[in-house]
Amino acid sequence: MITREENKNIYAGILFILILFIIWGIASLLVKPDFGEVYNIVQVTQKMDSFKDEVPDTIDVIFAGNSEVYRTFSPLQIFHETGITSYCMSESALRLCDALGLTKASFETQSPKVVVLEADAIFSDSDPHKDNYALPTNLIEDIFPIFHYHIFYKAYVPEFVFNDSVDLRTEHALRGFVQTDMAVPYTGPADYMNEGDHVRINRDSRKYLDLMREFCEEKNVPLLLTAAPNAKNWNYSKNKALQEYADKYGLDFLDLNMHVQDMGIDWNTDTMDGGNHMSFEGSKKTTAFMEEYLKENYDLTDHRGDPLYSDWEKDNEEYELYP
Amino acid sequence: MSFELFIECIKLWWDPVYSSWMFFALFLPLVILIYAISGKDRRPYVLLFSGWLFFISLSGVMFLVHIFETLLVWRMGIVLGRISEDKSLKRKERTAKKKKLLIAGIISLVAVLFVLKYLDFTGSNVVRLLNILSIPCEWRFLNIAVPVGISYFTLEGISYLTEVYWENIKPRGQYMNVALYMGFFPKLIEGPITRFSDVSDTLFSGLPVSYENLTRGYQRILLGLFKKLLIADHLAPAVDIVYKWEEKAGSVALFAAVIFTIQEYMDFAGSIDIVIGAARIFGVDLKENFRQPFFAKNASDFWHRWHITLGTFFRDYIFYPVSVNKSIMKLTKKVKDRFGAEAGRLTAPSVAIFCVWITNGIWHGPKWNYIFYGLYYFVWIFIENIAEKPFLSLLSKMKLSESSLIVRIFRFIKLFIIVITGEMFFRADSMSVGFEMFRYVFTDFNSRKLIRHLGDMGMDFHDYLTVIIAFILIIILSVLKELKVPYRKAFMSLPVFVRWTAWYALIMVIVVFGAYGSGYDAAGMIYAKF
């Protein structure tokens, strides 16, 4: 027999939980991004904010992907040598879902002519709600996205102490490229393309790759798939998987690993971390190769001398990266 | 949520790193529900089988070790009880027989622990010693999987047998009682190390889930989550990075020791809050494991406030028996005759303290760092025991009371240095790294190096700020507790609207500022590995 007091307590308990769910629901509505589901809301929001500093409709090429992008392609060098404007919409360990979100966001203020998607993110985790570090909380993220986007505040509260870090200062000037002085030689086998396991594009990645392709089709912008030179994480198996995808949908695919000798990559000096990312010297070679490819294959304008793009020339002079 | 994701989540339950999350998300609510709707007689069985399921999910086949130990303890307890009641034997004979059985039981339990946890360590060190003596041989590491919580339930088994031997408790005839005592799931991973008499009135009674216990239990769990997710887990990546000891500087070493001490304290104390809260829901009151340790007046007092249940275990089952051991008494007499009364007074406690601390160090795991850590505290407590009297007479000469602010500040600084230095060695990858870190504090402090690398420690500015604010709040709470301010009573007298708002605010603070999900690595429980 339940007493009156116990009855009251049961109702109080249910009411407490109901109110808690309502609070979580409201908080979820407030923090869920309106540009689609992303994995790391802080990275994406900060990148979008810095990208908004660009003069509207001045960016021709969007480089999307993870750290491979901002270590491999330098927009300032491309502009300096060809007059083509570009931006690295990339962050460390960026997932494909976030690359898609950033690419979509870039079209809000700009009218890019080409989207270049670097492939490393395709062969990593791509789903916004699948997190090896937090799978159990993923269980309720769909119902209460506050558990996924709970670090949203970091994008808005400024970094008082560490805001003088090189990456943040140079974000705008270098258009997302991150310059480094580090160079750690790659000492593995020269035929690294034969190494590694057989891989396929997993289901999550394929889903976001399809979404990226469909978005570019909708915007009537060519999607160029590329793979940065990577002696640690790239091989023929990945090349084949991506080539098949590109062939199936009539996309361009430029695997820079197949042109390592053409570019003159020296694995002793051109990688910053033993083969995974390009060093600054390496990035000069890969960027030069990519800009030639863009120039030859797409109808892109040389903006050098145009007063609207004077910032680009000023930034190059200030940072003295490309004399 | 897709079915595939659900399955992946369930699979990850098998990884102890995620066990804490699964514990809240699924396991605990499910057990509470089944427990609540079960009949009074069946409730202890619900707890027992839940504990077994929890154990199997974490340790798989090694669960059999747990079963073996509980069976051993249960049977030996019964036999010990029978001997105690055997009036055909003389008292001396009974005691001798019981003693033999108790020793056999303890040796069996310790042997299992030794083989699973310490065999590789001992074997490899013996081989190393033989190699130094030019005797060529090698040790093949067995890498045996260690069942979760073995260090805790082994001590509980020893405690049960000893209490039965001392006739402080009656042995339980039902296996279920002993199995549930040693396998009650909230305390399975990290303790607190529980005495049978502490829980026997509640654990087997099948008490109903009351509103009072449910709310108080979850409130305690929230406090634990606050400590763990806002402080300990935020600090976890920074601790891992600084203890790699790649940025060599005294400032980095000191910073490493300080943040590890905070991380360890908040992780362990937070986990224990969760354990005590979860047990409370089932009407079981477990012993507190922490009592504001940094308010201690010396190293000895610190260990009366830090990991209390381990300290009291060693006090009752090692310190007291060793102190009154006949051989030690004889030694005390000899020392007293030769070196005077004061030396005699210190002999027995010093030998007993040595035994306690060497065991404490070894208990933490098969690493020289832990053994050093135990001996380190032995040395400090030994020094403090000797120095206490002269120190007190010095204070009276200076007309200072023990409770004066200056004495308290002095004691705090001394304790802080002792604890921080101990933790520096405790967490270091090896003894040589520990000594190198210690040396750098005095030879190359280089605070600039630390400042330069604060941003590269897996924590951003927001994380540091979160940790600092949360820790200040915990300090305030500790001060209130130490001063015995009845803050809980005051809080409970507030209108329900205010109380609920405060709880919602706390929950949201944990949800928003907690270190979990994207951008954070999952951090396991530190004391689960000991």
Q: Cβ of B21 under 8 Å from any chain A Cβ? A: yes
Nearest CA in chain A to B10: A136
At A281 the three-state DSSP class reads: helix
Digitized pLDDT (tens) for each residue of chain A, 323 residues in all: 667 887 888 888 899 999 999 999 999 999 888 777 778 887 788 888 888 888 999 999 999 999 999 999 999 999 999 999 999 998 888 889 889 999 998 999 999 999 999 999 998 876 776 665 555 566 677 788 898 888 888 877 766 555 444 455 577 788 989 888 888 899 888 888 877 677 888 888 999 999 999 999 999 999 999 999 999 889 899 999 999 999 999 999 999 999 999 999 999 999 998 899 999 999 999 999 999 999 999 999 999 889 999 888 888 888 778 87
Q: Is residue B95 part of a domain?
A: yes
Residues in chain B closer than 8 A to A151 (CB atoms)? 512, 517-519
Q: Do A42 and B519 touch (CB under 8 A)?
A: yes
Question: Mean pLDDT score of chain B, rounded to an integer?
Answer: 88
Q: Is residue B11 part of a domain?
A: no
Q: How would residue B24 be classed by pLDDT, with cut points 50, 70 and 90?
A: low
Question: Which domains are seen in chain A, by residue range?
Answer: 36-129+157-319 (3.40.50.1110)
Strands A61-65 and A114-118: parallel
Query: Cα(B92)–Cα(B78) distance, rounded to whole angstroms?
Result: 20
From A27's Cα to the closest Cα of chain B, the distance in A is 9
pLDDT of residue A134: 53
Nearest CA in chain B to A12: B211
| Whether residue B366 has a cis bond before it, omega within 30° of 0 | no
pLDDT of residue B230: 94
Q: Cβ of B3 under 8 Å from any chain A Cβ? A: no
Q: How far is CA B497 from the centre of its chain?
A: 37
Q: Do A136 and B12 touch (CB under 8 A)?
A: yes
Residues in chain A closer than 8 A to B511 (CB atoms)? 24, 27, 146-147, 150
Q: Is residue B147 part of a domain?
A: yes
Instruction: Please count the structural domains in chain B.
Output: 1
- In the DSSP assignment, the letter for residue A308 is G
Q: In this predicted model, what pLDDT tens digit does every residue of B76-116 receive, in sequence order?
A: 999 999 998 888 888 888 889 999 999 999 999 999 999 99
Q: Do B500 and A27 touch (CB under 8 A)?
A: no
Residues in chain B closer than 8 A to A40 (CB atoms)? 518-519
pLDDT of residue A164: 47
pLDDT of residue B141: 84
Q: Is residue B342 part of a domain?
A: no
Q: Do A130 and B5 touch (CB under 8 A)?
A: yes
Please say if the pLDDT value at position B515 is more than 60.
Answer: yes
Identity of the residue numbered B129: L
User: Residue B174 sits in which domain range?
Assistant: 23-209
Q: Is residue B423 part of a domain?
A: no
Which residues of A touch chain B, with CB atoms under 8 Å apart?
6, 9-10, 12-13, 16, 19-20, 23-24, 27, 39-42, 129-131, 133-143, 146-148, 150-151, 153-154, 157, 159-162, 165
Per-residue pLDDT, averaged over B198-209, amounts to 90
Nearest CA in chain B to A14: B211
Burial of residue B521 (number of CB atoms within 10 Å: 0-12, 13-18, 19+)? middle
Query: Cα(B197)–Cα(B141) distance, rounded to whole angstroms?
Result: 40
Q: Is residue B214 part of a domain?
A: no
pLDDT of residue B10: 55
Q: Do B9 and A130 touch (CB under 8 A)?
A: no
Nearest CA in chain B to A151: B512
Nearest CA in chain A to B6: A139
Residues in chain B closer than 8 A to A39 (CB atoms)? 518
Token pair of A171 as six digits: 């974000």
Nearest CA in chain B to A8: B211
Residues in chain B closer than 8 A to A147 (CB atoms)? 511, 517
Share of chain B above pLDDT 90, in %: 58
Q: Which residue has the tokens 């006949």?
A: B326
Q: In this predicted model, what pLDDT tens digit does every residue of B397-456 receive, in sequence order?
A: 888 888 888 888 999 999 999 999 999 999 998 899 999 999 999 998 888 888 888 877
Q: Which residue has the tokens 């979509």?
A: A104
Q: Is residue B358 part of a domain?
A: no
Q: Which residue has the tokens 């120039």?
A: A295
Query: Cα(B21)–Cα(B19) distance, rounded to whole angstroms?
Result: 5
Query: Cα(A274)–Cα(A264) distance, rounded to whole angstroms?
Result: 17
Q: Radius of gyration over alpha carbons of chain A, in Å?
A: 23
Share of chain B above pLDDT 70, in %: 93
Residues 6+ apart with CB under 8 A from A160: B461
Residues in chain B closer than 8 A to A150 (CB atoms)? 511-514, 517
From B461's Cα to the closest Cα of chain A, the distance in A is 6
Q: Do A135 and B18 touch (CB under 8 A)?
A: yes
Q: Radius of gyration over alpha carbons of chain B, in Å?
A: 25
